Structure 1
Amino acid sequence: MSEALWITFAFSLGLLVKFIGLPPLVGYLAAGFLLSGLTEFTPLVAEDTDALNHIAHLGVLLLLFTVGLKLKLKSVISPEVIGGSLLHFGITCAVFAPGLYYIAGVDWRTAILLAVALSFSSTVLAAKVLEAKRELRAFHGRVAIGILIMQDLIALAVMSIAAGKTPSYWAVVLFALPLLRPFLYRLLDASGHDELLVLLGLLLALVIGGLGFEALGLSSELGALIFGAMLANHPRAQELSKSLWSVKEIFLVGFFLQIGIGGLPDATAMGYALVAFLVLPLKGILFFVLLLLFRLRARSSFLSSLALTNYSEFGLIVASVALPDWLVPLAIAVSLSFIVSAPLNRLAHPLYERLAHRLAPLESSRRHPDEQPVSLGDTRVLVMGMGRTGTAAYDRLQEEEPNLMGLDSDPAKAQQHADKGRNVVFADAEDTTFWEGLHMPRLEAVILAMNDIEGKVIAARMLRKKGFSGYVVAHTGYADEADKIREAGADEAFLTMSETGVALASHLTDRRHPAPSSGAS
């Protein structure tokens, strides 16, 4: 019976907030608090909360596993990620801990642990928002996720110290994990494309990564993330991530319900939560300043900082281990930060466009290597988005067009193409400053092959805004999206599946009616 109430309330409020322009997860949070309030009238709501906790935990593990599938660890290990996360953690604790001690009147141990809990940002929310916008692999997305990984490692260390536990001696076997990669690759290849692929993802995320790491005295979340990252370079990593999408989304509903069902706060708890909420902007400002110091441009610093401007579910985990009396106010603070952060991140790009004239002058004159401006030079044909479709178009055009260039918003992917001899460089189509400084004196045609509709619309609009009069063509999966791309300035926007059918028919026609040889009379 309680499961029926969870599903009913989650769907109803999720649908309601979607109608008013907010992400459904805000409705799931509201559903949790409403269910918590109803426990006074019916005990059915409070039944089987252990089952909900378990579902929530599985959702977090699956999310982190799919995040790992999209990560290139070599791009996470960078000065802005390591330096930015450690400096932010140190400064936050140095400011918050004395403030809590002198103003809130708590003891030093509690003040330090609360400061630690409030220093973390939400891996679940940031990853979900970035994933929904398809920005996990964009430069600012990788910086944000890298910082979150560092924060999660710090949180795991804090929890181990606070709980008085240390990892098992057997944890040293984790250094041999890279040796398992060839075996995992073979498992992924052998799993096919159906239910075995889903089961493999569940096995690695929940059993080997989750329970396996717990048995070694380590975090199951870290285990799920690491096993996902070990498969990130496999060609079918994206297919595995898509196969787990629905399962992950359903379980994550339990996570957001769990936060609300934890209990309604009293006046004191609300007061502490409100203070934490009011100082939340300082968290984002500090991230922005630190990332600027590491030579990121204002746009990347702003987008990364906005994704990190929230409080973390790891703070709740720390509280459950070391500060159980503070769990409710922290839960309210986390929930309030989610309610504000989710819609702000959805509007991140328009917000930056409005603030760009104030933020851009704060940039360092020395640019980050991943953010060097792009010059098209003698390029006559440009392919934007070097995924499967863009790569196929590039390779076909390369046979007859020497002045060809590809752009991609993932620096690691751009480098992979460059290593294979393709003329591909890093650039983000949604970056307004990229378009402002772009010179394209000989450009004649552009192919828009990015994954997301927003990127194609922005690129088409900005090309025309800069006076480009050449041919612009795109592909998309839906007729309404094709209309939007054409309205933005593209000459043509073809439906992917329709074009695939036309191409297959063309192959058959060419086979049945081959062109006459040049020697025929």
Structure 2
Amino acid sequence: MIEIELVWVGTAFLAGLVASRLAFPPLVGYLAAGYILHAFGVESAETLTHLADIGIELLLFTVGLKINVRSLLRQEVLSVGGLHLVIVTGVSGISFLLGGDEAIVDVILGASLAFSSTVLAIKVLEDNGELTSLHGRDVISILILQDVVAMVLLAFADDRPFSYWAFALLPLPLLRPWAHRLLAFCQADELRLLLGFSFALTGGLVAEKVGVSPDIGALLMGVMLSSHPQTNNLSEKLWSLKEIFLVAFFLQIGLADLPNPAQFLYAVGLLGLLPLQGLLFFALFLLAGLRSRTAFISTLALMTYSEFALIVTDAMVKANLLVPEWNSTIALAVAGSLALVAPLNRNSHELFSRYEPLLARFEKKARLLGRLPEHPDRLPESIGVAEWLVMGMGRTGLSAYLALSRREKRVLGLDDDPTVLESLLAEKRRVIYGDAEDPELWSGLPLDRVKGIILALPEFDARCSAVRLLRKRGYQGQIGTICYHPEEKQQLGLLGADFMIHPLVEAGNQLARQILGEKGESPE
């Protein structure tokens, strides 16, 4: 048995490595590995199915950990995410209905095609350092809304007969205080990881016992733990573990059967509809009051088919609502969408800069349709009397801001994280919204009186982009930033940064000065 497991894992690794080196998501390689193994006569097994089920339960558990009712009720989340689901479900459902299938099957299948890939979107946002940005938070909230709808669809797609014992799952979130205490009691990281894993499997087992899909039980267990201070830490640790188990799910799809020409053509047809989904997202974001840049970058992050489409389709196949051939069709469509959209997401900022004149026209037309709500991504029109700017109000940026304030300098902070801005404004700090990689921000700000700009941004690409845009705009003042490697310092200097410091090196210098009793400002 060990031999066949080694074949599964080894083939998945090699195919995933090849896909990654070709700039595709590894998921595409895992699916291809399943097809390759099937072509060589390798079959699936109960062990692989069991591992795939665990992966799905962990996925739903981590989704439950992220559910925040307040974030789901935001105007742009409901208007964009909700309307997109309704429109795509309606159009797709009608199209499938014309093919002669049952109405409920058409609606479920149509809705599953409205979901976007959580794995790809979060990976792209994380790589770009945009998870906490305004558009990053909107994208994640829309993904969570889609995931919640997916759970409802799974309930309808499940072939289990309804049992009144299912209502026993509803009080699970009410056990939150005890679950939070147990999580707080676990001080070691490995204990928290085991607790999360145990909760996910327990939720699945309890749900299965009362006649409900195990996936829904795992989701409810995640909701029970949500809002705890350690939730993000637990979710990050479970994320990689969940990815390992989900490899079995994608292998299982590929091992089921090779796609025939008809399935391949149908998948290509579904891929041809992706640009229409993108146009719909873009239009809805503009009508919700977002700028064209925010709408474009958010659209690219959402313009894929989701892993949940595979999960929902697989559930309907098991319930005999769909023929098994649908698994291969949807799998090809999902993998193809990830392969096509991943390169676009990596270059989203460059693509917007190239097509900005065209995309900005649509923003103006959307504004002419009526009075749209003001949104936090509106560009600032003035910086007041500020003579010093600090871009990025994290720990480093805030320290620089306070140091300048104590010297009675006219300083203004900028950040693209709405929660950071809200917190700092509550503390009476002078801060405004600003994205360092937004060309319109730097070209529109009156920088004539600004003596210096500090770029306290953790992402190297964002620092480079900001320096490049500032010098291109003709800014002659000082630009200071941070660097972590010698090659970063060299490149930032070539782009026009006046001085760069290594935070850890400066921490050592400050410690030495303090211990020798030399005069210097004590860090806070």
The TM-score range, normalised by the shorter chain, is: 0.7 to 0.9
What is the count of residue pairs matched by the alignment?
496
Return the alpha-carbon distance in structure 1 between the equivalents of residues 392 and 294 of structure 2: 19
Q: CA deviation at 1:78?
A: 0.9
Alignment of 1:382-401 (within 5 A): 382-401=389-408
Q: 1:30 to 1:490 in 2, by over 3 A?
A: farther
Deviations 1:252-300 (A, max 9, x none): 5555545434432122322322221111211111111111111111111
| 1:396 alignment partner AA | A
| 1:346 alignment partner AA | R
8 A Cα contact 2:55 2:242, kept in partner: no
The two structures, once aligned, show a CA RMSD in angstroms of 3.0
Question: What does residue 347 of structure 2 align with?
Answer: 347
Which of 12, 15, 18 pairs up with 1:16?
A: 18
Question: What does residue 436 of structure 1 align with?
Answer: 443
Which of 121, 130, 136 pairs up with 1:141?
A: 136
Return the alpha-carbon distance in structure 2 between the equivalents of residues 378 and 225 of structure 1: 48
Q: 1:482 to 1:21 in 2, by over 3 A?
A: farther
| 1:429 alignment partner AA | A
8 A Cα contact 1:210 1:224, kept in partner: no
Q: CA deviation at 1:436?
A: 3.0
Higher mean C-alpha deviation, range 123-132 or range 449-458: 123-132
Which of 289, 299, 307 pairs up with 1:305?
A: 299
Unaligned runs of 5+ in 2: none
Taking structure 2 as the reference length, what is the TM-score of the superposition? 0.85
Q: Percent identity?
A: 35
- Is 1:230 paired with 2:227? yes
Deviations 1:142-199 (A, max 9, x none): 1111111111111111221333557833344355366569747844xx72xxxx1243
Q: 1:446 to 1:256 in 2, by over 3 A?
A: farther
Q: CA deviation at 1:357?
A: 0.9
8 A Cα contact 1:76 1:146, kept in partner: yes
| 2:438 alignment partner AA | D
- Is 1:197 paired with 2:198? no
8 A Cα contact 1:52 1:254, kept in partner: yes
Question: What does residue 500 of structure 1 align with?
Answer: 507
Question: What does residue 94 of structure 2 align with?
Answer: 98
Q: State the SS of the aligned residue for 1:425.
A: strand
| 1:197 alignment partner AA | D
| 1:340 alignment partner AA | L
Q: State the SS of the aligned residue for 1:158.
A: helix
Q: CA deviation at 1:358?
A: 0.8
Q: 1:186 to 1:433 in 2, by over 3 A?
A: same
Q: State the SS of the aligned residue for 1:401.
A: coil
8 A Cα contact 2:179 2:224, kept in partner: no
Which of 288, 293, 304 pairs up with 1:294?
A: 288
Return the alpha-carbon distance in structure 2 between the equivalents of residues 59 and 367 of structure 1: 38
Q: State the SS of the aligned residue for 1:34.
A: helix
| 2:152 alignment partner AA | A
Which of 244, 262, 272 pairs up with 2:266?
A: 272
Which of 371, 382, 385 pairs up with 2:377?
A: 371
8 A Cα contact 2:387 2:449, kept in partner: yes
Q: 1:85 to 1:221 in 2, by over 3 A?
A: farther
Q: State the SS of the aligned residue for 2:412.
A: strand
Unaligned runs of 5+ in 1: 516-521
Q: CA deviation at 1:55?
A: 5.6
Q: State the SS of the aligned residue for 2:516.
A: helix
Q: State the SS of the aligned residue for 2:500.
A: strand
Taking structure 1 as the reference length, what is the TM-score of the superposition? 0.85
Return the alpha-carbon distance in structure 1 between the equivalents of residues 122 and 509 of structure 2: 37
| 2:331 alignment partner AA | A
Q: State the SS of the aligned residue for 1:84.
A: helix
| 2:359 alignment partner AA | L
| 2:415 alignment partner AA | D
Question: What does residue 518 of structure 1 align with?
Answer: none
- Is 1:34 paired with 2:27? no
8 A Cα contact 2:68 2:227, kept in partner: no
8 A Cα contact 2:31 2:335, kept in partner: yes
Q: 1:281 to 1:309 in 2, by over 3 A?
A: same
8 A Cα contact 1:2 1:48, kept in partner: no
Return the alpha-carbon distance in structure 2 between the equivalents of residues 239 and 506 of structure 1: 35
Return the alpha-carbon distance in structure 1 between the equivalents of residues 466 and 396 of structure 2: 17
8 A Cα contact 1:382 1:446, kept in partner: yes
8 A Cα contact 2:204 2:216, kept in partner: yes
8 A Cα contact 1:14 1:27, kept in partner: yes
Question: What does residue 173 of structure 1 align with?
Answer: 171
Return the alpha-carbon distance in structure 2 between the equivalents of residues 494 and 331 of structure 1: 48
Q: CA deviation at 1:238?
A: 6.2
Deviations 1:211-236 (A, max 9, x none): 337635562563476467513xx4x7
Return the alpha-carbon distance in structure 1 between the equivalents of residues 239 and 315 of structure 2: 30
Q: State the SS of the aligned residue for 1:446.
A: strand
Q: 1:464 to 1:84 in 2, by over 3 A?
A: same
Q: State the SS of the aligned residue for 1:219.
A: helix
Q: 1:209 to 1:404 in 2, by over 3 A?
A: farther
Higher mean C-alpha deviation, range 312-321 or range 17-26: 17-26
Alignment of 1:204-283 (within 5 A): 204=196, 206-208=197-199, 211-212=202-203, 215=206, 217=212, 219-220=216-217, 222-223=219-220, 226=223, 229-231=226-228, 234=229, 247=241, 250-251=244-245, 253-254=247-248, 256-283=250-277
Alignment of 1:502-521 (within 5 A): 502-510=509-517
Question: What does residue 157 of structure 2 align with?
Answer: 162
Return the alpha-carbon distance in structure 1 between the equivalents of residues 218 and 173 of structure 2: 17
8 A Cα contact 2:464 2:495, kept in partner: yes
Return the alpha-carbon distance in structure 1 between the equivalents of residues 241 and 270 of structure 2: 33
Return the alpha-carbon distance in structure 2 between the equivalents of residues 143 and 14 of structure 1: 30
Q: State the SS of the aligned residue for 1:382.
A: strand
Q: CA deviation at 1:458?
A: 0.9
Return the alpha-carbon distance in structure 1 between the equivalents of residues 429 and 288 of structure 2: 30
Return the alpha-carbon distance in structure 1 between the equivalents of residues 57 and 103 of structure 2: 34
Q: 1:317 to 1:24 in 2, by over 3 A?
A: closer
| 1:489 alignment partner AA | G
